[in-house]
Amino acid sequence: MKRPIIAGNWKMNMNNAETKKLIEEMAPLVADAKCEVVVCVPFTSIDTARKALRGTKIKLGAQNVHWAPKGAFTGEISADMLKELKVRYVIIGHSERRQYFGETDESVNARLKAALGAGLKAIVCIGETLAEREAGQTKDVVTRQLCGALEGIEKRDLKSIVIAYEPVWAIGTGKTATPLEANDTIRVIRKALRKLYDRTAAKAMRIQYGGSMNAKNASELMAMPEIDGGLIGGASLKAEDFAKVVNY
């Protein structure tokens, strides 16, 4: 039985004092969660979050990782650096990284390999833009992104990977894919996983939906058979809202 996973993506929000406060508010509200719970905080909040998360059910995550172990990459953070700070999960290939920072399927793949090599778990984001959706390219885009991200990844490493299907047009816009739309595209992703690996691996892979998921719509999205969790942006910044998603 797969354990659903709900992860908060705080993006570039929360200073250290706010991080501590939000985690202290959130932790008791998710104490009875049945699903796995993760918060992906800004790099500058990792140490504060790690301390505040002690003794809670919530796991610590980051929002990006570089592919090289060390070197002349000003402004970047390596997988070993995250591991040293007790980070468990890292988001890779978020659409905002692809859109504003030139992430490609190749760089996502390289970052994923570095994360896995250091013993981190990864949440790999894929999803089509509005233009791609309107041009009928959703299937092709998510399949290309998935295959690109997983190039050269062994089947035994899949247990450390979560895929987040996030239609770009639904992120931060208040527009959610309908549960059926999200379910259908995730089915396409699972089919691609079957081709890349096999039926068992595809079935076992946890695939989240992300894009304006919140306290109101979480239950109906999570009720869909293909949806194994959520990646939550805006609604993860308020303890009560995030807790309602977690306790969907």
**Binding-site ranges for ligand PEP (CB under 6 A):** 9, 166, 171-172, 210-213, 231-235
Q: Report the C-alpha gap between 144 and 163 in whole angstroms.
A: 14
Instruction: Check if the beta carbon of residue 66 is closer than 8 Å to that of residue 73.
Output: yes
DSSP state letter for 60: E
Minimum distance between the CB of residue 156 and ligand PEP, rounded to whole angstroms? 27
Minimum distance between the CB of residue 63 and ligand PEP, rounded to whole angstroms? 9
CB-nearer residue toward ligand PEP: 80 or 181:
181
Please name which of 60, 47, 54, 53 lies closest in space to residue 16, comparing C-alpha atoms. Answer: 47
Minimum distance between the CB of residue 80 and ligand PEP, rounded to whole angstroms? 25
Output the six-digit token pair for 85.
């700070």
Q: Report the C-alpha gap between 192 and 103 in whole angstroms.
A: 22
Active site residue 94: yes
28: burial class by Cβ within 10 Å (0-12, 13-18, 19+)? exposed
132: burial class by Cβ within 10 Å (0-12, 13-18, 19+)? middle
Minimum distance between the CB of residue 96 and ligand PEP, rounded to whole angstroms? 7
Minimum distance between the CB of residue 116 and ligand PEP, rounded to whole angstroms? 21
Active-site annotation holder among 36, 96, 103, 166: 166
Residue nearest to ligand PEP (CB): 233
- End-to-end CA distance of the chain, in Å? 18
- DSSP one-letter string for 169-216: GGTTSS----HHHHHHHHHHHHHHHHHHS-HHHHHH-EEEEESS--TT
CB-nearer residue toward ligand PEP: 80 or 220:
220
Active-site annotation holder among 94, 96, 103, 128: 94
Active site residue 128: no
CB-nearer residue toward ligand PEP: 61 or 234:
234
As annotated, the active-site residues are 94, 166
